[in-house]
């Protein structure tokens, strides 16, 4: 199906309507690991990929939620003009609706946002859910958390704020590279998020990370089984 924009953002600011996403078998492989941000983070340490953020920084709005999917990226900045003047003139610079419009089933919206303000609210979360997105990662504030919980749309955000971004934020790019708390995320990179944290896996390293994560998960399962069987501490399988 041909994708078209809604006219909420200049076309040249949308870098791609169709991003290159990881193969489904890779996504399914990471899903099978469960809440595995710790394992994935360990593997990325060994591979020299510094792309994990803790759950204490990117706080999940729905406890127990686990998502795995390709990043669809959006970048916001502070809008010019006074918010009161912008509100009176109905100058709304936010355009995450364009990202929802071109989203595909299973995408994760990753927003380089503005701190102290809401970069995404409840209605936006509801639209995202309907469009097939499975969650959002926001460097910046979000609001209407009860609404997003009610529709079952998990969000990991650095802040919660009731202050609207409508008259204060401008979306300047969709599906270009973004910076999430110092980590570069490209559209199509794989996002793994759970209660513990968020891992951003470069798309071209995802298969390598998955293979090693499977091995580490199997080793941890064997160690846990040995603990349950009463194996002496000195004889437990190595954790490395």
User: 155 forms bridges with which residues in the sheet?
Assistant: 136
Instruction: Find out whether 88 is annotated in a ligand binding site.
Output: no
Q: At 215, is the secondary structure helix, strand, or coil? A: helix
Q: 204 labelled as ligand-binding?
A: no
Q: How far, CA to CA in Å, does 110 sit from each of 33, 115, 180, 191?
A: 22, 15, 8, 9
* Bridge partners for 118 per DSSP: 141, 164
Q: Please report the sign of the dihedral spanned by the C-alpha atoms of residue 37, residue 127, residue 188, residue 214.
A: positive
**Cβ-contact 100, 63 below 8 angstroms:** no
**Helix and strand numbers, DSSP H then E, in the chain:** 7, 11
Binding residues: 143-144
Binding residues for substrate: 143
């Amino acid at each position: 199906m041909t994708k078209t924009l809604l006219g909420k953002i200049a076309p040249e600011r949308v870098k791609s309507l169709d991003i290159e996403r990881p193969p489904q078998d890779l996504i399914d492989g990471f899903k099978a690991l469960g809440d595995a941000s710790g394992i994935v983070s360990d593997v990325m340490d060994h591979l020299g990929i510094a792309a994990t953020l803790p759950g204490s920084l990117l706080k999940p709005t729905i406890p127990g939620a686990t998502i795995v999917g390709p990043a669809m990226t959006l970048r916001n900045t502070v809008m010019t003009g006074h918010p009161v003047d912008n509100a009176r003139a109905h100058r709304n610079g936010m355009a995450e609706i364009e990202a929802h419009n071109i989203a595909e089933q299973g995408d994760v919206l990753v927003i380089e946002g503005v701190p102290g303000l809401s970069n995404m609210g409840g209605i936006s979360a509801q639209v995202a859910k309907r469009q097939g997105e499975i969650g959002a990662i926001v460097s910046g504030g979000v609001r209407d958390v009860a609404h997003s919980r009610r529709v079952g749309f998990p969000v990991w955000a650095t802040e919660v704020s009731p202050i609207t971004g409508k008259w204060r934020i401008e979306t300047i790019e969709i599906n270009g590279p973004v910076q999430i708390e110092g980590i570069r995320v490209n559209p199509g990179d794989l996002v793994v998020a759970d209660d513990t944290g968020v891992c951003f896996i470069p798309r071209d390293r995802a298969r390598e990370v998955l293979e090693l994560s499977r091995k580490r998960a199997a080793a941890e399962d064997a160690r846990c089984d040995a603990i349950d069987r009463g194996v002496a501490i000195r004889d437990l399988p190595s954790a490395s």
